[in-house]
Structure 1
Amino acid sequence: MFVACLLPAVDLVWRAFTPDGLGVNPIEEAEIFTGLWTLRFLAITLAVTPARELLHLGFLARYRRTFGLFTFFYGCVHLAMWAGVDWFFAWGLMAGEIVKHKYILVGMASFLLLVPLALTSTNRAVRRPGGRRWARLHRLIYLIAIGAATSAFDCFAITAPGLAPLAAAELAALGEAPVAEEGGVSWTGDAESLCRANLWLRTASRVVVRAARFRARTFYELERHARRIRWERFLAPGNGVRFRVTCRKSRLYHSDAVAQRLAAAIEHRLKAASAYSTREADDDAEGADTERDQLFVVRIAHDECTVSADSSGALLHRRGYRQAVGKAPLRETLAAALLAAAGWRGETPLVDPFCGSGTIAIEAALLARRIPPGIDRQFACLEWPGFPRGGFARLLDAARPQILPRSPVPIRGSDRDAGVIDAARANAERAGVAGDVEFAVRAVSSIEPPEGAAGLVATNPPYGVRVG
């Protein structure tokens, strides 16, 4: 049994010395590997007693301490890699990271609870405090199991080009430690952090969870790595699967073929066929028939493949209010980004002299009243098996008391086109801010600034030949 418990460690060492055995990010892969085996041995340890009582497998009891010690062993390796390789034993920075993130704090507390259990797992230790006291001490394993249930996600907020710094500032204000990257912002968070980002981010297009990163030059390598992905974490029974694949400067360049191989990997792992389709078209083309499908965003660049599970569902710019639009409408995320880049926080008046269907003015009203942009949304992650949905409900309960009854500053939108002003008023009504934005049919030459302090003119002006 001792040799069998060592096999995962042998497999890790073997993969470490095999080309691309640990993928594009070997350190991260090794940390995930040891973390998963810590949880697996913890689950095996907890299962010994029920197996003995219910299935009459009494022989397993003699291996319970062995399983517990290997839980501690793989936990030590996991912690050593995190502290030594990720942080180079920078104790001050590590302490700040532990305090900042609940899932790290809970994980560290669970590991500390493992220490006395490991130290008292010898026959001599059992005899010294007595059998009953030893048994009471080792009931800490149940507290450790509760702590281990707190999961962490490798999160990534996808943004339009140039908006990553603005999304990073939003995430920092939400208490995360974001890192701006090409195409978006990454951070590590728990389930509540994921829901918070979907609820509050105004400038991101969608929030995904990175399920795997690896190097693949051939379809064989792609399938080999894809079969190791824990697809079951993201696939609710009855939901279909969609892939959005982009390939750039890679040997694997056929996006449909990549999607087919990934679908085959899902079927192999789950031992069941999965309905799937591929979408390379604009996300705005998504219809109601795909609302319950789980989307996986796959990016292959320079032979490095990243597979991410979409946690948002519909794109985050779909707040739900912009049903009536004029020509050349502005997306809600871009309107919010314009306000963020200007440093507007809802404390000074705002005027949009070319408001069109009112997106900038409406986003300004939502911001001024502290209304979360995703307050009327349901997100794909809430459908994931085992996902703690209570966290999202708590976030909503905490957000609603912060909403102001009215905008504290005047917000005005105007346009010479009466039709788009009617559309803007209808959109504001759906957004719940009709009483906060004053829309008027007016030429830019006749606009008068609101009374009071100096404010901001924010607009998407016409250019070239006037649209319409």
Structure 2
Amino acid sequence: MPLPLAATTAFGVEAVVRRELEALGYPAKITAPGRVAFEGDPQAIAQANLWLRAGERVVVELASFPATDFGQLFDGVAALDWAAWIPPDGEFPVRGRSRGSQLSSVPACQKIVKKAIVERLRQQHGVQELPETAGLYGVEVALVDDVATLTLDTTGVGLHKRGYRPVTSSAPLRETLAAAIVQLSYWRNGRPLLDPFCGAGTLAIEAAMIGRQIAPGLRRVFAAEDWPAVPADVWQAAREQAQQRMLPALDERILATDADDQVLVTARRSAERAGVLEDIHFQQRAFADTLSKREYGCLITNPPYGERLGEQREIEELYQAMPLVLRRLPTWSHYVLTSRLDFEQLVGQTADKRRKLYNGRLECTLFQYQGPKPPKGEGGGRKQGAEPASAAKTSVVEPAPKASVDAPQRAFGGLKPEAARQAEEFSNRLKKLARHLRKWPTKRGITCYRIYDRDIPEAPFAIDRYDDALHIAEYERPHDRTPAEHADWLDHMVRTAADALETPRELVFVKRRFRQRGETQYQRVAEQQAVRLVKEAGLTFRVNLSDYVDTGLFLDHRVTRGRFRDEAEGKRVLNLFAYTGAFSVYALAGGAERVTTVDLSPTYLDWARDNVRLNKLDASRCDFVEGDSQEFVESLPAEPLFDLAIVDPPTFSNTKRGADDWDVQQHAAPLLVEVAKRMPPGGVIYFSTNSRRFKLDEDQLSGLAIREISRQTVPEDFRNKRIHRCWRMVKE
């Protein structure tokens, strides 16, 4: 007569365990959350314990009966044939749980069950002493809705204890859950598999064992191996059969990477104990560097959750960056297990499937993003002559492969149909502008100028040429693309610009501009850096096209700088909020007697000094002051110290008081008054701002003749005539 058996599971993986049992030849049924019932003989006990990867325990279901009081519970337990399972010297600890039952005291129920078993065993074995010195027979009484179920645990230590992980390991992912996730994925032996947050290597090891058909319980012992009811030859036969089923090696090595080289040491040791070290390539590598040339693979990972205080922002930034990295694997499917319920909001993309799972007691979700199916007849395994995953170059970050509008749906990224039209319109516009701008910059000795300024609403870019390089800034604009799709679209548009303007891709530098916390922020899109020397009006300037919000040379002030130079001869010049000192260089080149350059940033002041040296100007006529511009002026005596001044405050804070304290609208007029006090009659102040909301309060500026010269100072290559506002003020 077959035995009533059950496999206990973590919530969410019952269907996986049912499939595992059916693959072993045992029809199974999910009877409750975390419980899958099946029937079998003693051989089934051995097979299930050896082969279940996602199950937690294998138990014998002895009986179920009503138990509304302790008398019913005692009588029901005492009526069972315990001697058929437990010998006189067997150890039988009793565990218990209760839900929705009148017998709610679990310790009391455990005592009653223990007492009933003792009396029954004494009677059946004809002994008074039960020493409990041989074999483990774990008993559980589960009271649910006043029904008691008695089970006998055949497993002992939980099935997640495979025997390969060090006792001291603190790996957060259970082996059984890792195996379940792999089985829920599209991965199979022969397809590439990558875990970029491998940690202790559990996912990779479990996958390797699945791929090689290694029984997860082959290297451990089970409680029922000491039971007379399950003969030793049953276990021996089951183990021999498992050895015969084992495959020699995976068709494709698994790639497991992590930024922490110390955890990789533990991972390698565990893989060696599991017998799969040669099937996994462990590599120290940051997630941002994730890359593979393999096709139709699976990325399965359990990234950090940020459970500890202070990690939230770091984890959120990591998750937000995920789609921009995963788009480099256009034909892959992705499986991410995390406890963050806001994962989809952070990555900006809804999963194709999601499954609630429990990692111990922690509620998690497996987010599944499915890539395209491999072509018919192609299993996604290794192609003839293709390099193995372990040999692929992984130290260099490469952009995502070119996305085609005709390509199949990708898990992350891809181009929408309208991208082709947008790129064509963008290209045509750039070519037309390039023809228009081909001659005049050369005639005027200008190598830096604006080519394109958000001319087409669907292409919100500002494109500037710096000698032979392009600087492209993308501005925020609403769209319906996911972050990964937008990154692919941006790559597509950047390639379009490079081709249309006949510029090598390596000389194109891209930034994203966006507003955050009231300030202009930027994100560098490419990793290349560029510090270059450029020409303007016969002068040389150092620009950085990659590392800052701006490049070091405001091109829209080219005309203003020229006017400033024309007025500088013999003058004492003040440059406030000097940035990289371009106005100071122009003033010195125009014959200024002395130039005082003030900025709060030591980096910008060093940059300004470099610009002076590059032009071989007399540095002895320069004063460089690191400090708050307003405080500097207020610290000077109210006497004629300067004849010519430029005041060009940034929209973000450039003072010690911070952005909230130095508001252009609030502080500009008082500062201009203080500057005028340090000038003789006829002294000239140029004031400029790119704040669109700014209104000059002329009532506060009595004693100054004011003329707005904004239209005259915006260069002709800037079609946005409101790029800045500029005034010329003369002290009366």
Shorter-chain TM range is 0.5 to 0.7
Deviation per CA, 1:342-377: give whole Å up to 9, x if none: 132323111000000000000011111110001112
Aligned to 2:27, which of 177, 195, 199? 177
Which amino acid in 2 is paired with 1:439? F
- Conservation of the 8 A alpha-carbon contact between 2:88 and 2:131: no
Larger Rg: 2
Aligned to 2:222: 379
2:120 alignment partner, SS class: helix
- Conservation of the 8 A alpha-carbon contact between 1:355 and 1:415: yes
Deviation per CA, 1:105-160: give whole Å up to 9, x if none: xxxxxxxxxxxxxxxxxxxxxxxxxxxxxxxxxxxxxxxxxxxxxx4210000000
For residues 409 and 293 of structure 1, do their structure 2 counterparts lie closer, same or farther at Cα, with a shift above 3 Å needed? same
Query: Going by fraction, where is helix more abundant, 1 or 2?
Result: 1
- Conservation of the 8 A alpha-carbon contact between 2:194 and 2:300: yes
The reply to whether residue 201 of structure 1 matches residue 52 of structure 2 is yes
- Conservation of the 8 A alpha-carbon contact between 2:42 and 2:229: no
Q: CA deviation at 1:309?
A: 0.2
Mapping 1:123-162, distance limit 5 Å: 151-162=1-12
For residues 267 and 326 of structure 1, do their structure 2 counterparts lie closer, same or farther at Cα, with a shift above 3 Å needed? closer
Q: Distance in 2 between matches of 1:409 and 1:260?
A: 54
Deviation per CA, 1:24-66: give whole Å up to 9, x if none: xxxxxxxxxxxxxxxxxxxxxxxxxxxxxxxxxxxxxxxxxxx
The reply to whether residue 253 of structure 1 matches residue 104 of structure 2 is yes
Q: Distance in 1 between matches of 2:37 and 2:216?
A: 20
The reply to whether residue 168 of structure 1 matches residue 18 of structure 2 is yes
Aligned to 1:214: 65
Aligned to 1:72: none
- Conservation of the 8 A alpha-carbon contact between 2:88 and 2:121: no
Report % sequence identity.
Answer: 37
The reply to whether residue 432 of structure 1 matches residue 275 of structure 2 is yes
Which amino acid in 2 is paired with 1:454? Y
Q: Distance in 1 between matches of 2:294 and 2:9?
A: 35
Deviation per CA, 1:164-184: give whole Å up to 9, x if none: 111001111111110012122
Q: TM-score, normalised by structure 1?
A: 0.62
Unaligned runs of 5+ in 1: 1-150, 277-289
Aligned residues: 303
Mapping 1:316-395, distance limit 5 Å: 316-323=159-166, 327=170, 329-395=172-238
The reply to whether residue 456 of structure 1 matches residue 298 of structure 2 is yes
Q: Distance in 1 between matches of 2:220 and 2:172?
A: 22
- Conservation of the 8 A alpha-carbon contact between 1:355 and 1:413: yes
Q: CA deviation at 1:445?
A: 1.6
Q: Distance in 2 between matches of 1:395 and 1:187?
A: 18
2:217 alignment partner, SS class: coil
1:405 alignment partner, SS class: coil
Aligned to 1:405, which of 235, 245, 248? 248
For residues 436 and 180 of structure 1, do their structure 2 counterparts lie closer, same or farther at Cα, with a shift above 3 Å needed? same
1:412 alignment partner, SS class: strand
Unaligned runs of 5+ in 2: 123-127, 316-732
- Conservation of the 8 A alpha-carbon contact between 1:266 and 1:274: no
Per chain length, whose mean CA-contact separation is higher, i.e. which structure has more relative contact order (CA < 8 Å, sep 6+)?
Answer: 1
Q: TM-score, normalised by structure 2?
A: 0.40
Q: Distance in 2 between matches of 1:242 and 1:210?
A: 16
Q: CA deviation at 1:379?
A: 1.7
Q: CA deviation at 1:259?
A: 1.1
Q: Distance in 2 between matches of 1:319 and 1:291?
A: 23
Q: Distance in 2 between matches of 1:291 and 1:319?
A: 23
Q: CA deviation at 1:237?
A: 4.2
Q: Distance in 1 between matches of 2:219 and 2:171?
A: 25
- Conservation of the 8 A alpha-carbon contact between 2:91 and 2:134: no
* Bigger shift: residues 415-424 or 225-234: 225-234
Which amino acid in 2 is paired with 1:418? D
Deviation per CA, 1:406-442: give whole Å up to 9, x if none: 1112201111111111110111111111111111111
